[in-house]
Chains A and B, each alone.
Chain A
Amino acid sequence: MTDVAKAGETRRRNDIRDRWLLSAPALTLIAIAGTGPLLIVLIYSFLAPGSYGDVKWEFSPNGWFNVFLSRDIFDNTVSLADAHYTIFWRTLRLALATTVLCLLLGFPLAYFIASRPPGSRSIWLFLITIPFWTNMLIRTFAIAEVIRNEGIINSLLMRLGLLVAPVQMLFTDFATLVGMTYVHLPLMVLPLYASLEKLDFRLVEAGYDLYASRFGVLLRIIVPLTRPGIIAGSILVFVPALSSYVIPLVLGGGKNLMIGNLIELQFGQGRNWPLGAALSVTLVLVVMIAVIFYMRNAGEPGGRAHG
């Protein structure tokens, strides 16, 4: 190698070193106070539970075992952990239902905004982002107030004579679903809007020109072309819905748990840290699978259309 080539190589290496130094504070911060401690959780999931919370430093597969199976404390028979499956199933069902509801409401909403004149679009979008940036807890609280027994909906229906007694909505799965949809709707609308805004309406014109109906155009042209936005929005809603904690706590009440609350329970009253750790790792894995699915599918429309 010539001197100048060596000098170039040194300069390149110094540049990379500087870039690592520059990113060191952020990486360190996240490693110690962000997602780094997840490693500890992973380790804990293979340890034995301590008597008053915490762990004993000995290997035990029981944390993972207990995620899916339960051993009867009297006769030692092994059966499926029904209570956990109920919670998993509720979590999955509610997360999927939230995603579908958000999509059904969010698509027309995003389409409506994207079809406004360019000048007023940002105002409409702003109206979507305000709830997005207001405190999630406050929004959950607001929903709770509206649907509680003495809340607006029940008292209005009763005053109108449509109901004799209030309908119990708060502390049900329905309440959790309403709350999650309410809180996560903006997360669906924003990527949908980004896709719809880029939509080339000449293609829609071409669709009409070739005898498609309004619904045909929607189904065969607009929806396929906005697929990246639909996938992005669905993942953005599905992932946080899956790991909800506050919403089922406030709206679902104590008994309609989702996996997030189950995890909390193991670190709180349950005092079974390894089980909580194993549940946490499971949740992270499910989320990662969803994200990888998203990354694989969120390319440009047509890129994988025939793949």
Chain B
Amino acid sequence: MMAAAYESGAISLEGVMKRFGDFQAVDNVTLDIKLNEFFTLLGPSGCGKTTLLRMIAGFEMPSGGRILLDGKEISDLLPNQRPVNTVFQNYALFPHMSVAGNIGFGLKMLGRPKGEIRAAVAEMLRLVQLEGRGDSAVTQLSGGQQQRVALARALAPRPKVLLLDEPLSALDLKLRKSMQIELKRLQAETGITFVFVTHDQEEALSMSDRIAVMSHGKVRQVGSPADIYHRPADRFVADFIGETNFIEADAVSIAGGVARVRLPSGVEIPATFPAGVTPSGKVTVVIRPEHAQMVAQAGDGALRGIVGDIIYLGTDTHFHVRLDDGSPFIVRRQNATNGPSEFSPGESVGIRISDNVAQIVMNQP
């Protein structure tokens, strides 16, 4: 087995820029990816996450800034000079080589002796559970198996950092779920720093140690999945990750790092806010649908409204409520029992908000 943890593999990005003509693909990104971390770059397509990954791999040269690996600048090294390997979105397996040929390719290029390559290939095949398939043609493998070969190929030279460019996007849902677990296991077993690019927020939340949310070439927020989900820094992050209710409110006071905001209904609730800002006046408050409950007595809740559509989703039910001021609000309730909903469309209801769940977000500049 491989060493449980690597001693190196930390990446620092310092003010990294990338322009394509007039298009600013990556705009002044500064990030620290820690040793042995499962780090995810998350964002919608075109946000610059893949370009950032390609710059770390060496396929693109930054237009400005520096990329450091373990404190040493690697910005101007060629891809074949960087101890960093990539799992490509379409796998990019060499169709004219066997599974073993693919996995051993990196070590062969590094000029390692044949015996060592053979041993490493065998170990990799075991690691990705493809024992005995070394001589198969890669074109005859299923999508999931190709994915494993791509992983094994990138891991075989024991890179300091493994870059994964939307590697699961071509797989169907079931396979994707099992590969997510597999990737997590591989990362834990090898201890290699993983930098993972995806536009799928669920994938990012379930796999990552930390996530950087990107949009328009900028990093919006870096944090743990829970941070990102519960304490979004701005409106974009809150909107992009999960379903969200936005409520316009007035900031009334701040005490002990918690603000009090007055909702349109006049009720005041506590709300946390991102570091480095001082909320005052009109603010936007984020409340996740699962953090609100419906109550029959309209007066009992922090908000009041009328039930619109009720959407049954198996594990839970979504209630689309129109608030008194006309704005929409979604409440998610787990279907603990399979009885009929006690609410029906057109009914007047109150909405109670759980304690310490509201978060103030900044509107995007």
Contacts and interface: CB of A to CB of B under 8 A. Distances in A.
A7 B64 contact: no
Given A4-B75, A4-B76, A11 B64 contact: no
A290 B64 CA distance: 48
Contacts of A7: 61, 75-76
B63 interface: yes
A11 B63 CA distance: 12
B113 to A, nearest CB: 32
Nearest to B15: A2
Contacts of A12: 61
B104 interface: no
A2 B65 contact: yes
B64 to A, nearest CB: 5
Interface string B63-77: 111100000000110
Contacts of B48: none
A7 B63 CA distance: 9
B69 to A, nearest CB: 14
A301 interface: no
A12 B61 CA distance: 9
Contacts of B65: 2, 4
Interface string B31-62: 00000000000000000000000000000011
B125 to A, nearest CB: 36
Residue from the set A3, A5, A11 with the largest chain B CB neighbour count within 10 Å: A5
Nearest to A6: B76
Interface string A1-36: 011110110011000000000000000000000000
Nearest to A11: B61
Contact of B66 (A4, A8, A11): A4
B18 to A, nearest CB: 9
Contacts of B62: 4-5, 8
Contacts of B75: 4, 7
Nearest to B67: A4
Residue from the set A2, A4, A11, A12 with the largest chain B CB neighbour count within 10 Å: A4
B248 to A, nearest CB: 43
A13 to B, nearest CB: 12
Contacts of A8: 61-63, 76
Nearest to A5: B63
Top 7 A-B pairs ranked by shortest CB distance? Answer: A8-B61, A7-B76, A4-B75, A2-B64, A5-B63, A4-B62, A5-B64
Interface of A: 2-5, 7-8, 11-12
Given A4-B62, A11-B61, 11 more contacts: A3-B76, A4-B63, A4-B75, A4-B76, A5-B62, A5-B63, A5-B64, A7-B61, A7-B76, A8-B62, A12-B61
12 contacts: A2-B64, A2-B65, A4-B64, A4-B65, A4-B75, A5-B61, A5-B63, A7-B61, A8-B62, A8-B76, A11-B61, A12-B61
